[in-house]
Chain A
Amino acid sequence: MSRLGDTGRWGVGLALGVGLCGYLIAFQGGFSDWLTFTILGITTGAIYAIAASGLVVTYTTSGIFNFAQGAFGMLGAFAYWQLRYDWGWPAPIALAAILLVVAPLFGALVERVIMRGLEGVSEITSTVVTIGLLAMAIGIANIVWPPAGRRVDQFFAGESVTVGAINVTWHRIVIVVVAVAVAVGLRFLLYRTRSGVAMRAVVDDRSLSQLNGGNPGRSAMLSWGLGASLAALSGILIAPLLQLSVLPLTLLIVNAYAAAMFGRLKSLPLTFAGGLVIGIAENYSANYLDLNTTEVAGVSLAGLQPAIPVILLFLILIALPSERLRTGGVQRVRESARVPTMRSALLAGGALVVVTIAASRVMSTANVTRLSLGLATAVIILSLVPLVGYGGQISLAAMTFAGLGAFAMVKVADGPGPLVGLLAAAALAAVVGAVIALPALRLAGIYLALATAAFAVFMEKFIFTQSWFFGAGSIQVPRPEVLGLTFDDDRSYLVLLSVLFALLGTGVVWLRRGPFGRRLSAMKDSPAACATLGLDLTRTKVGVFAFSAGIAGIGGALFGGVSGSVSSETFLFAQSLPILLMGVVGGIALVSGALLGGLLLQFFSTVGENFTLLASALFVGPLITNFALVAPGLIGILLSRNPDGLAADLVTAVARAGRWVREGRSRPEQDTGPDPLDTATFERPLTPAERAAVDRALGLDPQELARGSA
């Protein structure tokens, strides 16, 4: 497939499409049926197209894939309801207010306050910040609009057009028209107008666009404002079809990712086409296939239907022409993790175990459970440290591999025993990880992230729903046994968890300090350079993927063992998002960051719980009770301040304190500091050090300059 040129690809695709339609018409029900289903597909597809176009606009103009796009749309829909139905404004005014005022302002605000602070951070951090925005948006919606019955009517409610055997409401036709208008209009805006070009230029090279008279700050705010407005448009159009429910509205967009990829995140007409393809594929399979009751070798195909958009996503990602290894020069990212020594890793691990033993003696049962969950979560987050932290590869499937691990543990523990079960958990997850990594290898950055997301959603909808996987809803997960020792007692299990985390964490550090870890770090910094040195990137990537998946598998088995049972809901794709978020917040390149992230994640829910009663007394009730939801979001956003994560902050603080204690006074940092040539910028006057460095770089002799006139 990669040998074909673009035209070849199109030709094949078109031929397949035409052939399929011909087959359907001829053998499966005739033309009228086909027409009906195709029209249905188009109306659904138009929805995906609009949702995806907002994504594409934001990406094209800011370089950031906004995972919160759907959430912005949801907020827009609720805000529209507020104006139109709650306050009774006329529809055109409410629409104008939201689309032309509120949404753009919101988007611009997000850019100014949050995204601008992300100058120079890695793709991982900016991705995670948008995940934080997602969490925060959901929290805000729940606070401002607590659950209640809210009605939204379709536009031109009651009017419809009969096509064949079905009625198509005007609302759905409006959606198709709007989708076309958006695709055409945006294409024109971005490629033919000055502001549009300026918006795109910002992505390529911010300082260069500034040199050329552009105002990147203003362009960026414009971009995000536009993206938010499109999101709101999409939300408002979709709300009457889904009702005003926070989560369905927010997560609809996952199905639209494939459309955005179809357009390679830059072509709006293609995005539109992609949306149609998804909608049509969904409708064809719903109407022509009876997957609901089909079983193949014991595997129920019912879950295949909802997985179609992500299957398409995965296929599209793999079929993309291979991006050649980019040589964009080294990205001076702001993250800079220090690698701990083996000694400090062992000491930290030992300290963890000791502290845990002590805690297990005095904590209440409920807190023992919480801490256990925290440690098990920390193991799952730890799986991301080599992959994301060291290797710079984004994965949104941590919980999926955890789920595989739990499954393996359940199946294997009965026969060969729970310790073997733990190993089986690692093995199964690792194998699946390697298998998934292979096709996804050529992908990097956000494409890889989306491929892992596609895999995670596929597993969630198709595999985890199988009756032989999670039973009738939940399965019992046993605890490992070591050398005859059982851990039925929760406190002893807690200690086991701390020991396992310490061991795995030390192992990860050992890996980092060794050749493989160096290679990972190198691969993250410059894959192109690695290739030119003879490194087979494939092997390395598959290796780290498998390793990461294996650890996540162990984490999943351990997590299940805490409460003894897990359900399919425990390992949803959406569950991997807070895992990644808290991992980055804690410090994704640090083992201690994983620990911190895991503990924070579990204890956030505690804060919400413990303060419910207090909160009802205080005025800030809803804020506190929703703290659990808002807080991770807020913290994710604060990453823009310190991308290295909290653990790094802590480590630095502790190190400084240690030094201070030892030497009795504070010392200046030992680093040589950033190279003045790197900090020199056009945005402000040069410091003397920078001027000197620039002179030197230009080969100008300072004495000669001093003698000369300028």
Chain B
Amino acid sequence: MTNRRGIVALAAAALLVVGACGTRVEGGSDAGVDTAAASGASGDAATADGGSQSEEGMVGTLPTPCGDGDASGATDQGVTDESIAISTIADPGAQATPGLNLGVHQAMTAFVEYCNSLGGVNGRALDLTLLDAALFNYNQVVQQACESSFAMVGGGGALDETGAQTMVDCGLVDVAGFTISPEKAESDRVYQPLPNATYQFNVGAARRIVEEHPEAAEHAAIIYSNLPVTQRQADRQVEAYEQVGFDFVYEQAAEIGELNWTPIVVAMRDAGVEYVAMSSTFEEFVNLQNAMAEQGFEPEVVDLEANFYDDAYPETAGAVADGSTVRITTAPFEDDPQDPALALYLDWLSQTAGADAKPALLGVQAFSAGLLFATAAKACGAELTRDCLVEQLDQVTEWDGGGLHAPADPAENLITECFIQMEVVDGGFARAFPDEGYACDPENVVELTGDYGEGASEDG
């Protein structure tokens, strides 16, 4: 019953910028699971073609943190002899955007199933509560989590700034799957497997573009929906890209539901633009691309954030999207053979969610968050307290979820130096660069100096 309300949600969700390269947003489509490459979606416990199966006791390259043990004692809220209560927040009940990030809930359900099948964490089973913030109730569900959970794991909310301080105040720990606002991304007591640092930006793709398409980099355009979250994202990208040689000759805000993109296309054409980026939902961008095609405007480079890594985008766009590139930092679903950790996630996802399984980039991150949590919790042994958890998490300076994604630094909240460029091809995605693995380089990370907000703090 709301217009921008839901659209903001979509946009915000679209901009779940994690790892500074954005993330894949789950809008309810069969995201990213190309039927040819997928194993999990078929509901078969057997793995995909080519033996991309994790070895026994491993999740990809990570020794599994889940297993039996004899931990006991009610050492903190939510912890008992037998179980650890954790909760995962997402927004599938959002009235305006139903099913938003359902993949996150599903991924955590799959993770908990997996973990408990091995004995849980030190023998304590994970007791999962799925919380639905439905966009506007984020603060309330955080309060709910405060009441009974030991920790929040794997989730996130499109309007997470509304509950960031509440969580800190009630002493929870959040091993988040993703964050959106700076309040949350820079918050105390929040750890992410792929951090989304507000004051860093991954310019890997930018540097490559400067090399391969120098003309395009000097005639760059960025369009963004005029909502605070997309505006902020665009500002950050501009600041970051200009540090590595970009020159933005055209920056334009656009309304959600804009009917007439022609003026923008004409303006870009007149300005000699050869690089186009957009900070918004993919539906909006499809309209822009259609308008570009109508006017015969074909920029050299179209460079999109990870929220476009969703099959719904090429499905909706059709041929106009061909050649557009999307930058991601998680293991691609299309790889053949798939990363073993990814295959494990897909396996367990199809086992627990069956035909409704929604593989999603954020689901991958959620699964990784689950592993990160379990790893830290395991190290605490029987004396599982929030303080201990924090201590352990503060020591994880390199984390890649066993191969689920590029390595990053959860403890210091530093983004990954790696990236992959995917390209839209034939109604789906394919690798554009590099041919395999990730392209990593410390120069891929730049620091931002603009004012983009602050995190919730324990003194706050």
A and B touch in the complex (CB under 8 A): yes
Residues of A within 8 A of B (CB): 36-37, 40, 43-44, 47, 134-135, 138, 142, 146-151, 153-154, 160, 165-167, 169, 238, 240-245, 247-248, 250-252, 282-283, 286-287, 292, 302-303, 305-306, 364-366, 369-370, 460, 465, 470, 472-474, 563-565, 567-570, 572-575, 577-578, 605, 608-609, 612-613, 625-626, 628-629, 632
B121 at interface, CB cutoff 8 A: no
B144 at interface, CB cutoff 8 A: yes
Residue of B whose beta carbon sits closest to that of A611? B93
Given A472-B453, A612-B132, A628-B93, A605 and B260 touching (CB < 8 A)?
Answer: no
A629 to B94, CA, bound (A): 10
Evaluate contact between B259 and A605: CB separation under 8 angstroms.
Answer: no
How close is A276's CB to chain B, nearest CB, in angstroms? 14
Chain B positions within 8 Å of A240 at CB level? 290
Evaluate contact between B311 and A149: CB separation under 8 angstroms.
Answer: yes
Evaluate contact between B147 and A242: CB separation under 8 angstroms.
Answer: no
B4 at interface, CB cutoff 8 A: yes
Chain A positions within 8 Å of B58 at CB level? none
How close is A5's CB to chain B, nearest CB, in angstroms? 35
Evaluate contact between B315 and A147: CB separation under 8 angstroms.
Answer: no
Evaluate contact between A370 and B5: CB separation under 8 angstroms.
Answer: no
How close is B165's CB to chain A, nearest CB, in angstroms? 8
Q: Which 9 A-B pairs have the closest CB atoms?
A: A149-B312, A149-B315, A473-B228, A248-B257, A147-B28, A251-B3, A149-B316, A243-B283, A563-B139
Chain A positions within 8 Å of B3 at CB level? 247-248, 250-251, 572-574
Chain A positions within 8 Å of B287 at CB level? 241-243
Select one of A134, A166, A247 contacting B6, CB under 8 A: A247
B449 at interface, CB cutoff 8 A: no
Chain A positions within 8 Å of B263 at CB level? 37, 40, 283, 286-287
How close is B441's CB to chain A, nearest CB, in angstroms? 32
Evaluate contact between A165 and B266: CB separation under 8 angstroms.
Answer: yes
Given A473-B228, A626-B98, A148 and B159 touching (CB < 8 A)?
Answer: no
Q: List 27 A-B contacts (CB under 8 A).
A: A40-B262, A134-B1, A146-B98, A147-B29, A149-B311, A149-B312, A169-B294, A240-B290, A242-B259, A242-B283, A243-B283, A245-B283, A248-B3, A286-B263, A305-B255, A364-B144, A366-B147, A369-B139, A472-B232, A474-B161, A564-B166, A572-B5, A575-B2, A609-B132, A612-B93, A628-B134, A629-B1
Evaluate contact between A241 and B5: CB separation under 8 angstroms.
Answer: no
A472 to B230, CA, bound (A): 11
Chain A positions within 8 Å of B256 at CB level? 248
Chain A positions within 8 Å of B98 at CB level? 142, 146-147, 625-626, 629
B97 at interface, CB cutoff 8 A: yes
A147 to B92, CA, bound (A): 11
Evaluate contact between B253 and A292: CB separation under 8 angstroms.
Answer: yes
B252 at interface, CB cutoff 8 A: yes
Chain A positions within 8 Å of B93 at CB level? 605, 608-609, 612, 625, 628
Given A612-B132, A613-B130, A565 and B161 touching (CB < 8 A)?
Answer: yes
A47 to B287, CA, bound (A): 16
Other A-B pairs, 7, CB within 8 Å; known A241-B259, A605-B95: A147-B29, A149-B310, A247-B7, A572-B2, A572-B3, A574-B4, A612-B132
Evaluate contact between B232 and A306: CB separation under 8 angstroms.
Answer: no
How close is A95's CB to chain B, nearest CB, in angstroms? 20
Residues of B within 8 A of A (CB): 1-8, 27-30, 92-93, 95-99, 130, 132, 134, 136-137, 139-141, 143-144, 146-147, 159, 161-163, 165-166, 181, 226, 228-229, 232, 252-253, 255-257, 259-260, 262-263, 266, 283, 286-287, 290, 294-296, 310-318, 452-453
How close is B459's CB to chain A, nearest CB, in angstroms? 15
How close is B241's CB to chain A, nearest CB, in angstroms? 19
Chain B CB count within 10 A is highest, among A465, A473, A609, for: A473
A287 to B1, CA, bound (A): 32
Evaluate contact between B143 and A369: CB separation under 8 angstroms.
Answer: yes
A674 to B100, CA, bound (A): 52
How close is B159's CB to chain A, nearest CB, in angstroms? 7
Evaluate contact between A574 and B1: CB separation under 8 angstroms.
Answer: yes
A577 to B294, CA, bound (A): 37
Evaluate contact between B4 and A460: CB separation under 8 angstroms.
Answer: yes
How close is A255's CB to chain B, nearest CB, in angstroms? 9
A569 to B2, CA, bound (A): 9
Chain B positions within 8 Å of A625 at CB level? 92-93, 98
Residue of A whose beta carbon sits closest to that of B181? A473
How close is B169's CB to chain A, nearest CB, in angstroms? 10
Evaluate contact between B28 and A252: CB separation under 8 angstroms.
Answer: no
Evaluate contact between B260 and A283: CB separation under 8 angstroms.
Answer: yes
Evaluate contact between A151 and B315: CB separation under 8 angstroms.
Answer: yes
How close is A259's CB to chain B, nearest CB, in angstroms? 14
Chain A positions within 8 Å of B141 at CB level? 366
Residue of B whose beta carbon sits closest to that of A609? B132
How close is A235's CB to chain B, nearest CB, in angstroms? 13
Given A243-B287, A465-B226, A569 and B5 touching (CB < 8 A)?
Answer: yes
Residue of B whose beta carbon sits closest to that of A364? B147
A369 to B144, CA, bound (A): 10
Chain B CB count within 10 A is highest, among A247, A286, A287, A629, for: A247
Chain A positions within 8 Å of B253 at CB level? 292, 302
Chain B positions within 8 Å of A364 at CB level? 144, 147
A370 to B92, CA, bound (A): 19
A675 to B228, CA, bound (A): 59
Evaluate contact between A473 and B143: CB separation under 8 angstroms.
Answer: no
Chain A positions within 8 Å of B259 at CB level? 44, 47, 238, 241-242, 252
How close is A339's CB to chain B, nearest CB, in angstroms? 32
A689 to B162, CA, bound (A): 64
Chain B CB count within 10 A is highest, among A292, A578, A608, A609, for: A609
Chain B CB count within 10 A is highest, among A245, A577, A626, for: A245
Evaluate contact between A366 and B143: CB separation under 8 angstroms.
Answer: yes
Chain A positions within 8 Å of B28 at CB level? 146-148
Evaluate contact between A166 and B262: CB separation under 8 angstroms.
Answer: yes
Evaluate contact between B226 and A365: CB separation under 8 angstroms.
Answer: no
Chain A positions within 8 Å of B294 at CB level? 160, 167, 169
Chain A positions within 8 Å of B96 at CB level? 247
How close is A604's CB to chain B, nearest CB, in angstroms? 9
Chain B CB count within 10 A is highest, among A151, A240, A564, A575, for: A151
Chain A positions within 8 Å of B313 at CB level? 149
Select one of B8, B97, B134, B229 contacting A605, CB under 8 A: B134
How close is B30's CB to chain A, nearest CB, in angstroms? 8
Evaluate contact between A282 and B139: CB separation under 8 angstroms.
Answer: no
Evaluate contact between A135 and B139: CB separation under 8 angstroms.
Answer: no
Chain B CB count within 10 A is highest, among A472, A625, A629, for: A472
Evaluate contact between B134 and A148: CB separation under 8 angstroms.
Answer: no
Chain A positions within 8 Å of B29 at CB level? 147-149
Chain B positions within 8 Å of A612 at CB level? 92-93, 130, 132
Select one of B5, B147, B163, B312 contacting A365, CB under 8 A: B147
A238 to B258, CA, bound (A): 11
How close is A139's CB to chain B, nearest CB, in angstroms? 8
Chain B positions within 8 Å of A470 at CB level? 228
A454 to B73, CA, bound (A): 61
How close is B149's CB to chain A, nearest CB, in angstroms? 12
Evaluate contact between B1 and A147: CB separation under 8 angstroms.
Answer: no
A495 to B252, CA, bound (A): 48
A36 to B136, CA, bound (A): 43
Given A608-B93, A609-B134, A473 and B4 touching (CB < 8 A)?
Answer: no
How close is B107's CB to chain A, nearest CB, in angstroms? 16
Chain A positions within 8 Å of B452 at CB level? 472
Evaluate contact between B318 and A248: CB separation under 8 angstroms.
Answer: no
Evaluate contact between A243 and B232: CB separation under 8 angstroms.
Answer: no
How close is A629's CB to chain B, nearest CB, in angstroms? 5
Given A242-B257, A605-B137, A166 and B95 touching (CB < 8 A)?
Answer: no
A613 to B130, CA, bound (A): 9
A154 to B319, CA, bound (A): 13
Chain B positions within 8 Å of A169 at CB level? 294
Chain A CB count within 10 A is highest, among B4, B132, B310, B317, for: B4
